[in-house]
Chains A and B, each alone.
Chain A
């Protein structure tokens, strides 16, 4: 038993090191760790800038799948975003009226579909922006989600 436990510890330690080294290297090429500036940004413009964009263009090439128009529970609003823009590299979700509007940022390597489903907390009814980086440029699609019961309190 003791041997078994030690083996597990050793393996998990090695896995941690390997993944940390791995997590740092490829991401350095795309983004540098957690983007503090972007997550502190208060407006869509600030956030796009902090992500590295020089302004953005409105797009209709983003679909919102099963994202609800009205969410009864702001604690878990399931948002589905699909970009059909060629060479989509990243997708970010900005919830305008949340205390920290940038909710999530996804790097989408080639081979991965430009489609993400995640659940978010929403403080109140708000515009939600999908910020898509495609072929080096930034695009935005916006949708209002009404929240009947806020999920940040």
Chain B
């Protein structure tokens, strides 16, 4: 399993600002190794962010998202202490789920 996702969720007025940094190679499938063989694509395909279980963002990604993906967005209806969960599934079926409390 991949390294943990770093999540920051903090109140900005009545909004919750979410900043996420995932750990993933996001291999594009375009690069070649030293022998000239194509390195197979391996990237996060689906991302889901939930606030107390309710989806606040769902993403589908292609291999053009940068290595160690960064994501920022905001939603209303959260308060300090609420749970925010970030999960992803990549093109090999690997998955990772991380959680934080809103501050």
Using CB atoms and an 8 Å cutoff, list the residues of chain A in contact with chain B: 12, 15-16, 19-20, 22-23, 26-27, 30-31, 33-35, 38-39, 75-78, 95, 98-100, 102-109, 111-113, 115-123, 151-153
Chain A residues contacting B31 (CB-CB under 8 Å) are: 152-153
B101 interface hit (Cβ, 8 Å): no
Cα distance, A134 to B63, chains bound together (Å): 26
Q: Which of B6-62 contact A (CB under 8 A)?
A: 15, 26, 28, 30-31, 45-46, 48, 50, 53, 55-62
CB pair A112 B57 closer than 8 Å: yes
Distance in Å from the Cβ of B51 to the closest Cβ of chain A? 9
Distance in Å from the Cβ of B34 to the closest Cβ of chain A? 14
CB pair A100 B85 closer than 8 Å: no
Partner of B72, one of A23, A102, A116, A151: A116
Query: Closest 4 CB pairs between A and B?
Result: A103-B64, A117-B72, A119-B66, A107-B58
Chain B residues contacting A33 (CB-CB under 8 Å) are: 46
0/1 interface trace, chain B 54-86, chain A, CB 8 Å (1 if under): 011111111111110111111111000000010
Chain B count of residues within 8 A CB distance of the other chain: 37
CB pair A26 B55 closer than 8 Å: yes
Chain A residues contacting B62 (CB-CB under 8 Å) are: 39, 100, 102-104
Chain A residues contacting B57 (CB-CB under 8 Å) are: 106-109, 112
Distance in Å from the Cβ of A97 to the closest Cβ of chain B? 11
Are A117 and B53 also in contact (CB < 8 A) when A104-B61, A106-B58, A106-B59 are? no
Distance in Å from the Cβ of B16 to the closest Cβ of chain A? 10
Chain B residues contacting A111 (CB-CB under 8 Å) are: 56, 75-77
CB pair B87 A23 closer than 8 Å: yes
CB pair A75 B70 closer than 8 Å: no
Partner of B66, one of A16, A20, A75, A112: A75
Chain B residues contacting A26 (CB-CB under 8 Å) are: 55, 58
Distance in Å from the Cβ of A22 to the closest Cβ of chain B? 7
CB pair B28 A22 closer than 8 Å: no
Distance in Å from the Cβ of B26 to the closest Cβ of chain A? 8
Chain B residues contacting A95 (CB-CB under 8 Å) are: 64
Chain A residues contacting B71 (CB-CB under 8 Å) are: 116-118
Partner of B95, one of A16, A115, A118, A153: A16
